């Protein structure tokens, strides 16, 4: 019998959880059975129970078990994959420092619990915002887990960029490769078309600079806000879908000749200070990843990457000052 993939999902009773869990249980990561551990805060446990009831009612052939808990150590015990979705949202009265501090409390504790009890092959993907810095906090609080096992989600930004380019060029998404998101999962992120290929042709031959600057980049960077305005709540199904895409590619590998975008711990590549969790073009294979080397970065890209990376460096300084790392 195949051992099920043990997946811990935090924030399981939230909006993203409500979409993500069903994708995981229905084969989103492949045909290996899955055991789901739903981690929630105590008041949300009844809601998580309701989600679990619906998961049961789907009679998914690949779903081998569900556990619901408010204890991180129980959820992460022996886990192969931890999808850290639950986070403290920013409310109107909160400063940026308050937000980092509230999330710091969550991600220090979860990093320590992962360090103590997760499986040897654990991979940790952080979706909860501020995703890059939350991933940094968790990673720094899990000194026994190799740093390359931590990543933050920029796949939603990557998918948004693919979709906008597909719409503009009238090309199926499947015909587009080598899209890159650099930097932070925030409005400073940079969706780089310089290396993107559309049906075998460089994307830059098909779209012009004014479109990139005045439509493409702002649309991708501000898409989350546009969705909140239209829907009345933040992206959920697309965020869940991107989380599944990111986990699947991490575990199973990117397509030959292509790459994806993942925020990973920098080794200093492309001038991104070592240790920051920043988005890069990344190829994955056998559960590992490497930053695509030697891409040419022009002045336009350089300035935008630097702005986003500077924001990440500021966030790192802030969480250091708060004693979170
Ligand atoms: P919801 O508020 O619907 O759900 C969050 C859930 O997390 C709640 O049920 C809450 O009880 C739970 N939670 C809070 N603290 C927890 C803890 N310590 N342990 C376990 N569970 C905990 O938010 P949702 O819309 O699901 O979004 C979740 C997170 O994803 C937010 O931080 C959001 O900002 C972030 N996003 C990240 C995206 C990305 O691309 N990286 C895009 C979508 C989304 O904005």
Give the C-alpha separation, 55 to 66, whole Å.
Answer: 9
Q: What are phi and psi of 269, to 5 degrees?
A: -55, 145
Give the C-alpha separation, 175 to 245, whole Å.
Answer: 17
Question: What is the chain's mean pLDDT, rounded?
Answer: 97
| Whether residue 185 lies in the annotated active site | yes
**Would you say 136 and 316 are in contact if contact means Cβ atoms under 8 Å apart?**
yes
Helix/strand/coil for 273: coil
Q: Which residues pair with 192 in a beta bridge?
A: 180
Q: What are phi and psi of 291, to 5 degrees?
A: -75, 130
Report which of 278, 283, 280 is spatially closest to residue 265, judged by C-alpha positions. 278
Q: For 202-217, write each residue's pLDDT tens digit.
A: 999 999 999 999 999 9
**Would you say 148 and 284 are in contact if contact means Cβ atoms under 8 Å apart?**
no
Q: For 255-307, write each residue's pLDDT tens digit.
A: 999 999 999 999 999 999 999 999 999 999 999 999 999 999 999 999 999 99
Hey, what CATH topology would domain 5-152 get?
Answer: Rossmann fold (3.40.50)
Q: For 40-80, write each residue's pLDDT tens digit.
A: 999 999 999 999 999 999 999 999 999 999 999 999 999 99
Give the C-alpha separation, 171 to 164, whole Å.
Answer: 10
Give the C-alpha separation, 155 to 181, whole Å.
Answer: 8
320 CA distance to ligand 1 centroid (A)? 23
* Ligand 1 pocket check for 221: Cβ under 6 Å: no
* Ligand 1 pocket check for 153: Cβ under 6 Å: yes
What are the extents of the domains in the chain? 5-152, 155-315
Q: What is the pLDDT of residue 4?
A: 98
Same fold, 5-152 and 155-315: no
241 CA distance to ligand 1 centroid (A)? 14
* Ligand 1 pocket check for 239: Cβ under 6 Å: yes
Q: What is the pLDDT of residue 143?
A: 98
Known binding-site residue numbers for NAD(+)? 11-17, 103, 110, 127-129
Give the C-alpha separation, 30 to 19, whole Å.
Answer: 17
Instruction: Tell me the pairing of strands 150-152 and 260-265.
Output: antiparallel
In Å, what is the CA distance from 237 to each residue of 20, 193, 234, 302?
7, 25, 10, 32
**Would you say 175 and 143 are in contact if contact means Cβ atoms under 8 Å apart?**
no
Q: Is the pLDDT of residue 313 over 80?
A: yes
252 CA distance to ligand 1 centroid (A)? 25
Sequence-separated (6 or more) residues with CB below 8 Å from residue 287: 121, 123, 250, 251
Number of H helices, E strands in the chain: 11, 14
- The one catalytic residue in 123, 185, 195, 304 is 185
Hey, what CATH topology would domain 155-315 get?
Answer: L-2-Hydroxyisocaproate Dehydrogenase; Chain A, domain 2 (3.90.110)
* Ligand 1 pocket check for 235: Cβ under 6 Å: yes
Give the C-alpha separation, 194 to 188, whole Å.
Answer: 18
Q: What is the pLDDT of residue 124?
A: 99
Q: What are phi and psi of 68, to 5 degrees?
A: -120, 130
Per cent of the chain over pLDDT 70 is 100
Q: What is the mean pLDDT of residues 305-313?
A: 98
């Amino acid at each position: 019998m195949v051992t099920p993939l043990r997946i811990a999902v935090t924030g399981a009773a939230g909006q993203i959880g409500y979409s993500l869990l069903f994708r995981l249980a229905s084969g989103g990561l492949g045909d290996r059975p899955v055991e789901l551990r739903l981690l929630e805060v105590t008041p949300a446990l009844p809601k998580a129970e309701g989600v679990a009831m619906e998961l049961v009612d789907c009679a998914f052939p690949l779903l081998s078990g569900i556990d619901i808990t408010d204890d991180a150590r129980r959820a992460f015990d022996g886990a192969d994959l931890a999808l850290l979705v639950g986070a403290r949202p920013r409310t109107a009265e909160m400063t940026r420092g308050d937000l980092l501090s509230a999330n710091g409390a969550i991600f220090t504790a979860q990093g320590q619990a992962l360090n103590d009890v997760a499986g040897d092959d654990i991979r940790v993907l952080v979706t909860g915002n501020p995703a890059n810095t939350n991933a940094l906090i968790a990673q720094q609080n899990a000194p026994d887990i190799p740093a390359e096992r931590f990543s933050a989600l920029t796949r939603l930004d990557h998918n948004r960029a693919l979709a906008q380019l597909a719409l503009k060029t009238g090309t199926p998404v499947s015909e587009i490769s080598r899209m890159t998101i650099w930097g932070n999962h925030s409005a400073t992120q940079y969706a780089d078309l310089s290396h993107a290929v559309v049906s075998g042709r460089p994307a830059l031959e098909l779209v012009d600079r004014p479109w990139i600057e005045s439509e493409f980049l702002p649309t991708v960077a501000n898409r989350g806000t546009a969705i909140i305005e239209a829907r009345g709540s933040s992206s959920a199904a697309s965020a869940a879908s991107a989380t599944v895409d990111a986990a699947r590619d991490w575990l199973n590998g990117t397509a030959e000749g292509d790459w994806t975008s993942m925020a990973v711990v920098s080794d200093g590549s492309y001038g991104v200070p070592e240790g920051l969790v920043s988005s890069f073009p990344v190829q994955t294979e056998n559960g590992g990843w490497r930053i695509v080397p030697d891409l040419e970065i022009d002045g336009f890209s350089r300035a935008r990457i630097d702005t986003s990376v500077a924001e990440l460096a500021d966030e790192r300084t802030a969480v250091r000052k708060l004693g979170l790392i």
